[in-house]
Structure formats: structure tokens, C-alpha cells
């Protein structure tokens, strides 16, 4: 059984029935699930040097296991020497098997490598989406070998079918997403 099949089987066999009971949902098809994961990297050096964007796309492709595409500037900004339509970053959208492989890699391999990690913020966007900002891409094993000296941050956007923030939080927590404990924030204040 492949890694993607293992993580998907965990969801269908264990997590989904538990969530149905926990959230009080009568129909199994209404239980929230992960819909897609979007990885996005902005590369300001691409304005001056197109080779920087090639490196970003190569590493993002290695991290995601799927070919990335360029993102382009929507507006011209003279102060940044940026013209409309210039490539300024890369993104990749993961669905299906690749999505579950990446989600497992993020939770079990990448997040534990973050320095001074105290948990993720549990703020949800109100529509079933959750965003994680990663400061350095070298927390992923594939980026360490390919990138060399250059480090970029990336945004991980996890979109779910959940209708409320509580359902989204419960779904991600059941996968093992390491959210901050409520009393940690109060102790530091």
C-alpha cells in the first residue's frame, strides 16, 4: 500500500467516522474533508534574475511531487521595477493522492523541523481554509539538497469542505496538525 493510500485509508476508516460522532453529523457525506492544498512561493529576485525563478520552480516541484507553474504580476509597480505580466513566483495545486502525501509530509516531517516550534496558530479564515506561512523551505527534505544556500519562504493553503471554523479545526486536529495549546498564549502574555 502506498503512502497516499495509507493516509487516505486513515481518513476514511478512522477519522471520518470519529468526526461524524464528534460533530453530531447525521450523513457521512457531510463530514468535512480536505479538498485541495495550494503551495505558493513569491520570488522578488525574479524581477532582476530569471534564474532565481527557475530554482524556485525546481525546488517547489521537488517538495510537491508535481510540476509547478509561474505566477505573474497583476499590476505594474514602478518603485519595484515590476511590470504587469512579469513572472514573480511559482505555485502548485495538489489534489487526490499527491495532496495526502504532502499533508503527511508536512505534519510528520516538516513541521517538527521548525526551529523554536510551539505549535501553529488555530485561526481559520471562516470558509474552511487554513493558511500556514513557512519561513524557510529547508524544513522539507527535498529542498535541502536542491536549493543549496538560497532560502525562500512559502505559503501552504489547505482548503476543506467544512462550513464552520470548528469543523475545520476538528478535521485538521484529527490528522495531527500541531495547533498551539490555549494556555500557552496566556502564559506568555
pLDDT in tens, 43-99: 777 667 777 778 888 888 888 889 988 887 777 777 777 677 777 888 999 998 889
188: left (phi over 0), alpha (psi -120 to 50) or beta: alpha
Task: Report the pLDDT value the prediction gives residue 148, as an integer from 0 to 100.
Answer: 62
Task: Report the pLDDT value the prediction gives residue 181, as an integer from 0 to 100.
Answer: 78
- What SS3 string covers the chain? CCHHHHHHHHHHHHHHHHHHHHHCCCCHHHCCCEEEEEEEEECHHHHCCHHHHHHHHHHHHHHHCCCCEEEECCCCEHHHCECCCCEEEEEEEECHHHHHHHHHHHHHHHHHHCCCCCCECCCCCCCCEEEEEECCHHHCHHHHHHHCCCCCCEEEEEEECCCCHHHHHHHHHHHCCCECCHHHHHHHC
Of residues 49 and 189, more confidently modeled: 49
Which CATH architecture group holds 32-178?
2-Layer Sandwich (3.30)
Task: Report the pLDDT value the prediction gives residue 1, as an integer from 0 to 100.
Answer: 52
Alpha-carbon distance 58 to 146, whole Å?
8
What are the tens digits of pLDDT across the range 121-142? 888 888 889 999 888 888 887 7
Residue 82 Cα distances to 32, 46, 78, angstroms: 40, 10, 6
Quick one: angle between helices 165-175 and 16-23, nearest 10? Answer: 150
The yes-or-no verdict on residue 186 having pLDDT over 70 is: no
Task: Report the pLDDT value the prediction gives residue 184, as an integer from 0 to 100.
Answer: 52
The yes-or-no verdict on residue 32 having pLDDT over 90 is: yes
The yes-or-no verdict on residue 147 having pLDDT over 60 is: no
Alpha-carbon distance 89 to 167, whole Å?
32
Alpha-carbon distance 39 to 32, whole Å?
21
Of residues 1 and 74, more confidently modeled: 74
Q: List, in order, residues 6 or more apart from 1 with CB less than 8 Å away.
A: 9
Residue 187 Cα distances to 174, 180, 183, angstroms: 25, 12, 6
Listed residue (118, 147, 149, 152) closest to 133, CA to CA:
152
Q: What is the mean pLDDT of the chain?
A: 83
Task: Report the pLDDT value the prediction gives residue 161, as an integer from 0 to 100.
Answer: 93
Q: Mean per-residue pLDDT for 16-21?
A: 92
The yes-or-no verdict on residue 25 having pLDDT over 80 is: yes
pTM of the model as a whole? 0.84
Task: Report the pLDDT value the prediction gives residue 158, as an integer from 0 to 100.
Answer: 94
Return the percentage of the chain with pLDDT > 90, whole number. 24
Amino acid at each position: 500500500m502506498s503512502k497516499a493510500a495509507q493516509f487516505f485509508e486513515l481518513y476514511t476508516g478512522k477519522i471520518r467516522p470519529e468526526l461524524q460522532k464528534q460533530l453530531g453529523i447525521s450523513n457521512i457525506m457531510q463530514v468535512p474533508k480536505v479538498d485541495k492544498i495550494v503551495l505558493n512561493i513569491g520570488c522578488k529576485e525574479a524581477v532582476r534574475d530569471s534564474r532565481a525563478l527557475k530554482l524556485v520552480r525546481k525546488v517547489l516541484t521537488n517538495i510537491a511531487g508535481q510540476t509547478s507553474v509561474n505566477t505573474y504580476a497583476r499590476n505594474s509597480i514602478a518603485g519595484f521595477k515590476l511590470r504587469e505580466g512579469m513572472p514573480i513566483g511559482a505555485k502548485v495545486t495538489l489534489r487526490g493522492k499527491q495532496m495526502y502525501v504532502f499533508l503527511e509530509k508536512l505534519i510528520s516531517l516538516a513541521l517538527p523541523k521548525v526551529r523554536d516550534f510551539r505549535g501553529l496558530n488555530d485561526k481559520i479564515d471562516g470558509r474552511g481554509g487554513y493558511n500556514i506561512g513557512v519561513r524557510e523551505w529547508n524544513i522539507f527534505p527535498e529542498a535541502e539538497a536542491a536549493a543549496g544556500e538560497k532560502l525562500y519562504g512559502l505559503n501552504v493553503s489547505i482548503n476543506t469542505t467544512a462550513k464552520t471554523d470548528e469543523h475545520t479545526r476538528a478535521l485538521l486536529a484529527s490528522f495531527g496538525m500541531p495547533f498551539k495549546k490555549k494556555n500557552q498564549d496566556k502564559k506568555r502574555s
